[in-house]
Chain A
Amino acid sequence: MKKPRVAIFDFACCEGCQLQIVNLEEEILDLIGAVDVVEWREAMSEQSHEYDVAIIEGSITREEDEKRLEVIRSRAKVLIAIGACATIGGINKLKNNFESMDEVRECVYGEAGKKPHLDTYPTKALDEVVKVDYRVHGCPMDRAEFAYIIKSVLLGKKPEIPDYPVCVECKAKGNPCLWEYGQVCLGPIIRAGCGARCPSSGHRCFGCRGYISNPNVDAAKDVMDKYGLTVEDLKTKMVLFGSKQEPTL
């Protein structure tokens, strides 16, 4: 059987998810052995326009990026978005809360922000531009979950991605609830699959894996009431990785 040809690309991001691929350490050699990596700008000099699987990190923030993504989509049979920037727009969407992009540009570069090479538009996740076949959630993505999803795709199986809240995994670990410690934790509405990594380290969930498909918004409101907090308190925390996204409270 011919090995599937894989290409790895990135747009606006910190490239921390590609780093997680490297962080597989020895295991990366097994993965690389199962496929034919034809383009990975960060790791090799070769380039190719022919690939079966495109793995993409980062958000879309410019016209030129959008065009490049469309070309990649037209060439790839399977498109996999890795990390929050690609799957939900991630932290890059914080700038979408500004009235205008001119304001954003001026905020960082002052007068020089008007220069054409500093152009930007409101951040988009990949699926706001093209069809995405698989998503590896998280900021950064979890390297074990990445390996699992890639293996599933190579075997022609559908990977199982949790669609229940982080609370499920957090409770299973026996963690004390961070709400009891006054932290506005997003565990009740955010997709599990991370092993409740942040709450397990004593830090509230800030939602890097995105919302579950059917979050129980009413229950979240009950929780807010119980702890004497308002929906506004919750929204200021949801904005980190969930700017301009459903669900609205």
Chain B
Amino acid sequence: MTDLNINVKHITRVEGHGNIVVNAKEGKVEQVEWQVPEAPRFFEAMVRGRSYEDIQTIVSRICGICSISHSLVATKAVENALGIEVSEQTDKIRLILHYAEQLQSHVLHVGYLAVPDFFGAPSVVPLVSKATDAVKTIIRAHRVANNWSDLVGGRTTHPITIIPGGFTVIPSEDQFRQLQGTLRETLKDLGTIAEVVLSVAENIPDFTRDTEYISLSDPARYSFYHGGIASTDTNEIVLVKDWHSVTNEFVVDQSTAKWAKWHRNSYAVGALARFNNNADQLTDASKGVAKMLGLEKGCCNPYFNNIAQIVECVYVVENAIKLIDEVLTAGLKNEVVKTSPKAGRGAAAVEAPRGILFHEYEFDSNGNCVAADLCIPTNQNHANIQDDFEKLVPEFMGEGEDALRQKLEMLVRSYDPCISCSAHMLNVKFV
């Protein structure tokens, strides 16, 4: 009978660090644990006493990869708290910037992290000589996404231009037109990347577990930024201001990050969650990529999150091209932003690349923050990863320690837990 002793220490980048511990004796599983020992950073304390104008600058630093999402959701929450309205132009340009981050993060994750697994390579580096064209295409798409963030956000990471009420500066019409041209080329590159993934798609593990998927949902479009909270378990849409009734966070001993659950023991967020709730609203081209790669609505194979990310890359690029047209047709306006402090409390949600993200703040009459409550997507996935582990280990333990460890690593990666430049971030040690 099988004995297993897997101890993966410091998986890294689950906002830092994660461990996998699996023990089995004579075919009987004794321990399966997903642990999060990350050094906590206490952002909810760090924003206390700070001005409503500085909140997005501080909380952007929660995550280098999703800094645009954190800036945007914080700014929205501040605006909700202080009753600040933004123009339709601001709303659209923010969405354009938000799409840039989806592309940047998804290409990074799929290209530098997941694809090497599918090729059986230890990292993206050996693939440079093995699959030169594919790697070059991935780097090109990644650079486009970064330049796009630079142009609209003022910087690739930790955006500068987003402030309560609007933007400090916006791109010119010429710059927007140039970006549009670049994005049309990127659509072709994304087609190439999808074909590369298709060529190795047979290596996606065959594993499913019936799961509750949570994401934003909005009647107007496949949502990253607007609407209410949807679950694949119900038909109701929960208002963002009631987000605590969805996340129900709790502290566990095996983690410095809080965990979350709604209708079940756990739920999942991310690209697959968005796809499962909103796939009908995708564009024809993105639906075509989903079909080509065998992704269908209702998919409960967590490894297909990577596939949903490729589908979303196509969607955000297509929709950005369309939004730029809308903004330019309406005529670009240089808006002067004037805000003033006021007491109030406000919540907001956006979809970070790796799932739904909630921020809530309360301000005193001077506009200084007195309370903050943040819930990041990776936290919401922890309990689900644990539940996946518990089903996966007995199913695959017959394949032996190496194969099982590989599947567990790939599973964690598939959730894209804020792992930036990782190819093989999992340092596995057998004790």
Interface positions of A (Cβ within 8 A of B)? 10-23, 25-26, 29, 32, 41-45, 47, 61-62, 65, 90-92, 94-95, 97-98, 103-105, 107-109, 112, 115, 117-118, 120, 139-140, 197-198, 201-203, 206, 236-237, 239-240
Stretch of B236-244, B299-307, B421-429 at the chain-chain interface:
B421-429
Known contacts A22-B420, A201-B161: does B42 contact A105 (CB below 8 Å)? yes
- Complex contacts, A21 vs chain B, CB 8 Å: 421
Known contacts A45-B426, A108-B42: does B12 contact A25 (CB below 8 Å)? no
B61 touches A14 (CB 8 A): yes
A-B contact list, 13 entries, CB within 8 Å: A15-B16, A16-B63, A16-B64, A16-B420, A22-B420, A42-B419, A43-B423, A45-B122, A117-B256, A120-B39, A120-B40, A203-B154, A239-B50
- Complex contacts, A12 vs chain B, CB 8 Å: 16, 39, 41
**Contact of B213 with A by CB under 8 A:** no
B residues 153-201 in Cβ contact with A at 8 Å: 154-158, 160-161, 163, 168-169
- Complex contacts, A104 vs chain B, CB 8 Å: 42, 45
Min C-beta distance of A187 to chain B, whole Å: 14
A23 touches B154 (CB 8 A): no
New A-B pairs, 5, CB < 8 Å, besides A18-B64, A44-B123, A107-B42: A12-B16, A22-B108, A23-B157, A95-B45, A117-B37
Question: Which of B12, B57, B67 is within 8 Å of A41, CB to CB?
Answer: B12
- Complex contacts, B253 vs chain A, CB 8 Å: 115, 117
Q: How far is the CA of A99 from the CA of B419 in the complex (A)?
A: 34
Q: How far is the CA of A97 from the CA of B112 in the complex (A)?
A: 39
Stretch of B90-98, B139-147, B310-318 at the chain-chain interface:
B139-147
A18 touches B45 (CB 8 A): no
Q: How far is the CA of A90 from the CA of B58 in the complex (A)?
A: 10
- Complex contacts, A13 vs chain B, CB 8 Å: 64
How many B residues face the partner with a CB closer than 8 A?
62
**Contact of B44 with A by CB under 8 A:** yes
A94 touches B421 (CB 8 A): no
Q: How far is the CA of A94 from the CA of B48 in the complex (A)?
A: 9
**Contact of B74 with A by CB under 8 A:** no
**Contact of B226 with A by CB under 8 A:** no
Q: How far is the CA of A93 from the CA of B108 in the complex (A)?
A: 30
Min C-beta distance of A115 to chain B, whole Å: 7
The dominant DSSP class at the B interface is loop
Q: How far is the CA of A124 from the CA of B41 in the complex (A)?
A: 13
A23 touches B156 (CB 8 A): yes
A109 touches B157 (CB 8 A): no
- Complex contacts, A240 vs chain B, CB 8 Å: 50, 54, 57-58
Q: How far is the CA of A90 from the CA of B43 in the complex (A)?
A: 13
Q: Can you name the residue of chain B whose Cβ is closest to the Cβ of A62?
A: B39
B57 touches A25 (CB 8 A): no
**Contact of B125 with A by CB under 8 A:** yes
- Complex contacts, B292 vs chain A, CB 8 Å: none
Q: How far is the CA of A120 from the CA of B67 in the complex (A)?
A: 24
A14 touches B64 (CB 8 A): yes
B422 touches A107 (CB 8 A): no
- Complex contacts, A91 vs chain B, CB 8 Å: 46, 58, 61
Q: Can you name the residue of chain A whose Cβ is closest to the Cβ of B409?
A: A45
| 3 closest cross-chain pairs (CB), A and B | A16-B64, A202-B168, A201-B154
Known contacts A23-B156, A41-B427, A203-B163: does B51 contact A236 (CB below 8 Å)? yes
- Complex contacts, B16 vs chain A, CB 8 Å: 10, 12, 15
Q: How far is the CA of A94 from the CA of B251 in the complex (A)?
A: 24
A109 touches B154 (CB 8 A): no
Min C-beta distance of B191 to chain A, whole Å: 21
- Complex contacts, B156 vs chain A, CB 8 Å: 20, 23
Q: How far is the CA of A240 from the CA of B13 in the complex (A)?
A: 24
- Complex contacts, B419 vs chain A, CB 8 Å: 42
Question: Which of B43, B157, B169, B425 is within 8 Å of A140, CB to CB?
Answer: B157
A107 touches B39 (CB 8 A): no
A118 touches B157 (CB 8 A): no
**Contact of B10 with A by CB under 8 A:** yes
- Complex contacts, A202 vs chain B, CB 8 Å: 160-161, 168-169
Q: How far is the CA of A237 from the CA of B160 in the complex (A)?
A: 15
Q: How far is the CA of A107 from the CA of B46 in the complex (A)?
A: 10
Q: How far is the CA of A14 from the CA of B59 in the complex (A)?
A: 10
Min C-beta distance of B115 to chain A, whole Å: 14
Kindly supply a per-residue 1/0 record for chain B positions 224-237, scoring 1 wherever the CB is within 8 Å of any chain A CB and 0 otherwise.
Answer: 00000000000000
A14 touches B45 (CB 8 A): no
B168 touches A42 (CB 8 A): no
Known contacts A107-B45, A203-B160: does B420 contact A42 (CB below 8 Å)? yes
A42 touches B45 (CB 8 A): no
**Contact of B65 with A by CB under 8 A:** yes
**Contact of B62 with A by CB under 8 A:** yes
Min C-beta distance of B143 to chain A, whole Å: 5
B46 touches A41 (CB 8 A): no
**Contact of B128 with A by CB under 8 A:** yes
B54 touches A15 (CB 8 A): no
